[in-house]
Amino acid sequence: MGKVLVDSCIFIDIFRGNKQLYQDLLKLEISISSIVYMELIQGSRDKIELTKIDKFLKKFQIIPINQATSNISMELMKKFSISYGLLIPDALIAGTAIIKKLPLWTFNHKDFKFIDNLVLFKAAGKDDL
Q: What domains can you pick out in the chain, each with its CATH number?
A: 3-121 (3.40.50.1010)
The number of residues in the chain equals: 129
In order of 17, 83, 126, 129, the CA distances from 33 in angstroms are 22, 24, 22, 21
Specify the pLDDT at position 1. 55
List pLDDT tens digits, range 10-63.
Answer: 999 999 999 999 999 999 999 999 999 999 999 999 999 999 999 999 999 999
Specify the pLDDT at position 123. 65
Cβ–Cβ under 8 Å, residues 92 and 35: yes
CA 77 to chain centre: 17
Ranges 31-35, 77-81, 108-112, 124-128: which has the least confidence:
124-128
Specify the pLDDT at position 124. 53
Strand order across the 104-105 sheet: 61-63, 29-33, 3-6, 104-105, 120-121
- Over 70: is that where the pLDDT of 129 sits? no
Give the C-alpha separation, 24 to 1, whole Å.
9
Q: Could you tell me the pLDDT band of residue 127, with boundaries at 50, 70 and 90?
A: very low
Cβ neighbours of 72 (radius 10 Å): 19
List pLDDT tens digits, range 66-105.
Answer: 999 999 999 999 999 999 999 999 999 999 999 999 999 9
Give the C-alpha separation, 40 to 62, whole Å.
13
Cβ–Cβ under 8 Å, residues 37 and 55: no
